């Protein structure tokens, strides 16, 4: 089973994404910020990270850079409302694999 880590500070959206993934035969764990995500990443193996950008403590760009230093192969998908070109470029420079904008 594919194990997915969802890093999203909006608790309701985090729950919705995890529930949707679980209903579609994925195993998903949610956390509210990168600090919680680091703990999970050290204790479990994930096949994909889905992350927001605008989060407390550590933003998604810094989180992606940190993940890339430790694991250059895990896919990272940003989900965000930031639709500007500079945010997209910054995300890809940080090492993400894809960028999904939510309206």
Residues contacting residue 9 through CB under 8 Å, at least 6 positions apart: 32, 33, 52, 54, 55, 56
Task: Please work out, in degrees rounded to the nearest 5, the angle formed at the alpha carbon of residue 60 by the alpha carbons of 48 and 66.
Answer: 75
pLDDT-derived band at 41 (thresholds 50, 70, 90) equals very high
Q: Is 60 exposed, middle or buried (0-12, 13-18, 19+ CB in 10 A)?
A: buried
pLDDT score recorded for residue 9:
96
pLDDT score recorded for residue 13:
96
pLDDT > 90? residue 56: no
pLDDT score recorded for residue 103:
79
| CATH level 2 (architecture), domain 3-101 | 3-Layer(aba) Sandwich (3.40)
pLDDT-derived band at 102 (thresholds 50, 70, 90) equals confident
**Rg of the Cα atoms in the chain:** 13
DSSP conformation class of 5: E
**Mean pLDDT confidence for 27-49:** 96
Q: What angle do helix axes 60-70 and 85-94 make, rounded to 10 degrees?
A: 20
């Amino acid at each position: 089973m594919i194990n997915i880590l969802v890093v999203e500070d909006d608790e309701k959206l985090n729950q919705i994404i995890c529930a949707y993934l679980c209903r579609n035969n994925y195993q998903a764990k949610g956390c509210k910020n990168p600090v919680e995500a680091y703990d999970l990443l050290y204790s479990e193996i994930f096949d994909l990270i889905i992350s927001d950008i605008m989060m407390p403590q550590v933003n998604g760009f810094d989180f992606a850079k940190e993940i890339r230093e430790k694991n250059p192969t895990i896919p990272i998908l940003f989900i965000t409302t930031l639709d500007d070109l500079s945010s997209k470029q910054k995300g890809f420079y940080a090492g993400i694999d894809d960028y999904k904008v939510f309206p």
